[in-house]
């Protein structure tokens, strides 16, 4: 184990954040989990509350906070289209003001700060698979812009704080990730399909289902984030983290049907505006600098996720308000 550090995880009660907190606690670090519980619940970290090296703070990162820490993982931000479009202005504030507050904190504490950016910075990409030097094709005035442009602005702030103020930064661009502890009503494709299949409801394919995504299992993604935080001094990123195996949404639906054994039927729904047609990470840089490459096949990761979905009570989760 590396020397114990004081680690802040913003968005620490969320899907990825809670797993990251778990890993950091297991590794013996002093972990502060900061969250406003906009898209998560305390149950995600309830099992950590009695650990002496874990602390839970209710706070909104659009406001500054005074703490003493060595590393900051900045994950706070609604992540699914339904959640981030619920209050788009707040989403933009969380990305931009949150980045400023976390960079300011890192500057004062001399801490290293990692930004959870996203494949959405590439928008509906004309380059396939997406490499980090591709500058993206984002509609700045569309319904996804609050998230895409917010995350792009956050990357700009990270680079400028680094160039101007020598803040020690890291940026990862995360591609679609799934696994246990996804919010069952977040509206993302994996959680929707599994929930619908287990309830025997229609499985909603948006568009004709030929659009693609590349799905990474949660544990492997979190391992990549940790490697990036503790990686080589000169590797600031942005660096893509995701599983490069690409699936159509129709293929995903078929797999969920097979693995759950459901009698649910597929139904077509309109494709949301600006929905990216294809998405697949080029992970050459992550392989080279972090020695990181996902190995969990979608079939195995989905089986684990379905197992977890079978254990939860849906009534314990709030659905996003329309
Ligand atoms: P999530 O919604 O489960 O977690 C986000 C957490 O941030 C939640 O606990 C939420 O309550 C909290 N939060 C939101 N706004 C906040 C605010 N203003 N102040 C404090 N806390 C706030 O989503 P996730 O999938 O765990 O995503 C974590 C991060 O990874 C996000 O920044 C997201 O953009 C990024 N990311 C995730 C994916 C993915 O596929 N899961 C892909 C790309 C990027
Ligand atoms: N999607 C779908 N049915 C659903 C939810 C999503 O067909 O019930 C599609 C969506 O239109 C998109 C893809 O699945 O093409 C992935 O959507 P998600 O919201 O999970 O993430 P995105 O990658 O678009 O941010």
Q: Is 12 in the pocket of ligand 1 (CB under 6 A)?
A: no
- The residues near 140 (Cβ < 8 Å, ≥ 6 apart) are 149
How far does the centroid of ligand 1 lie from the alpha carbon of residue 261, in Å?
31
Q: How confident is the model at residue 319 (pLDDT cuts 50, 70, 90)?
A: low
- The residues near 55 (Cβ < 8 Å, ≥ 6 apart) are 30, 31, 32, 33
How far does the centroid of ligand 1 lie from the alpha carbon of residue 74, in Å?
9
Q: Which of 147, 161, 185, 217 is catalytic?
A: 147
Distance of CA 151 to the CA centre of its chain: 12
Question: CA–CA distance from 320 to each of 32, 238, 260 (Å)?
Answer: 26, 31, 25
Q: Domains of the chain by range and CATH?
A: 6-175+217-241 (3.40.50.720), 178-214+244-278+296-316 (3.90.25.10)
The closest ligand to the CA of 174 turns out to be 1
Q: How confident is the model at residue 315 (pLDDT cuts 50, 70, 90)?
A: confident
How far does the centroid of ligand 1 lie from the alpha carbon of residue 262, in Å?
30
Q: Which numbered atom of ligand 1 lies nearest the CA of 18?
A: 26
Res 322 pLDDT > 50 = no
Q: How confident is the model at residue 191 (pLDDT cuts 50, 70, 90)?
A: very high
Q: Where are the beta strands (DSSP E) in 75-167?
A: 112-118
Candidate from 7-16, 40-49, 217-226, 308-317 with smallest mean pLDDT? 308-317
Of 138, 206, 305, the one to substitute when testing ligand 2's pocket (max ligand atoms within 8 A of C-beta) is 206
The predicted model gives 70-94 an average pLDDT of 95
The predicted model gives 74-101 an average pLDDT of 96
Whether ipTM exceeds 0.90: yes
Cis omega (within 30 of 0) for bond into 156: no
Q: What is the mean pLDDT of the chain?
A: 95
The closest ligand to the CA of 144 turns out to be 2
Give the span between the Cα atoms of 115 and 142, in whole angstroms. 23
**278-307 pLDDT, tens digit each:** 999 999 999 999 999 999 999 999 999 999
Q: How confident is the model at residue 35 (pLDDT cuts 50, 70, 90)?
A: very high
The predicted model gives 127-143 an average pLDDT of 96
Q: Is 179 in the pocket of ligand 1 (CB under 6 A)?
A: no
Q: Which residue minimizes the CA distance to atom 23 of ligand 2?
A: 176
Q: Is 37 in the pocket of ligand 1 (CB under 6 A)?
A: yes
Q: Is 123 in the pocket of ligand 1 (CB under 6 A)?
A: no
Question: CA–CA distance from 263 to each of 52, 189, 239, 260 (Å)?
Answer: 47, 18, 41, 9
**Of the candidates 223, 274, 267, 222, which has an alpha carbon nearest to the alpha carbon of residue 249?**
267
Q: Which residue minimizes the CA distance to atom 14 of ligand 2?
A: 189
Instruction: Clarify whether 161 is annotated catalytic.
Output: no
Q: Which residue minimizes the CA distance to atom 4 of ligand 1?
A: 14
């Amino acid at each position: 184990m590396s020397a114990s550090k004081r680690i802040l995880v913003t968005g620490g009660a969320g899907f990825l954040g809670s797993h990251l907190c778990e890993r950091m606690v297991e590794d013996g670090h002093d972990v502060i989990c900061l969250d406003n519980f906009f898209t998560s619940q305390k149950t995600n970290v309830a099992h950590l509350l009695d650990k002496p090296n874990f602390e839970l703070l209710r706070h909104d990162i659009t406001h500054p906070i005074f703490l003493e820490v060595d590393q900051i993982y900045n994950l706070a931000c609604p992540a699914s289209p339904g959640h981030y479009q619920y209050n788009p202005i707040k989403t933009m504030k969380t990305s931009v003001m949150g980045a400023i507050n976390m960079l300011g904190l890192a500057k004062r504490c001399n801490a290293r700060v990692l930004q959870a950016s996203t494949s959405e910075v590439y928008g509906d990409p004309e380059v396939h698979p997406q490499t980090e030097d591709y500058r993206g094709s984002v509609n700045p005035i569309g319904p996804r812009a609050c998230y895409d442009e917010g995350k792009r602005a956050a990357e700009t702030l990270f680079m400028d704080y680094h160039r101007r103020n020598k803040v020690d930064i890291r940026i990862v661009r995360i591609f679609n990730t799934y696994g246990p502890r996804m919010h069952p009503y977040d509206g993302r494709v994996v959680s929707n399909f599994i929930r619908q299949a287990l309830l025997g409801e229609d499985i909603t394919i948006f568009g004709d289902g030929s659009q693609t995504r590349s799905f990474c299992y949660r544990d492997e993604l979190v391992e990549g984030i940790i490697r990036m935080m503790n990686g080589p001094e000169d590797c600031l990123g942005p660096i893509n983290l995701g599983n490069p195996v690409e699936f159509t949404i129709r293929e995903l639906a078929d797999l969920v049907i097979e693995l759950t054994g459901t009698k649910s039927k597929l139904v077509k729904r309109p494709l949301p505006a600006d929905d990216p047609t294809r998405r697949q990470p080029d992970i050459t840089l992550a392989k080279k600098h972090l020695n990181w490459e996902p190995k969990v096949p979608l079939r195995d990761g989905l089986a684990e996720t379905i197992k977890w979905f079978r254990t939860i009570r849906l009534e314990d989760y709030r659905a996003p308000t329309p």
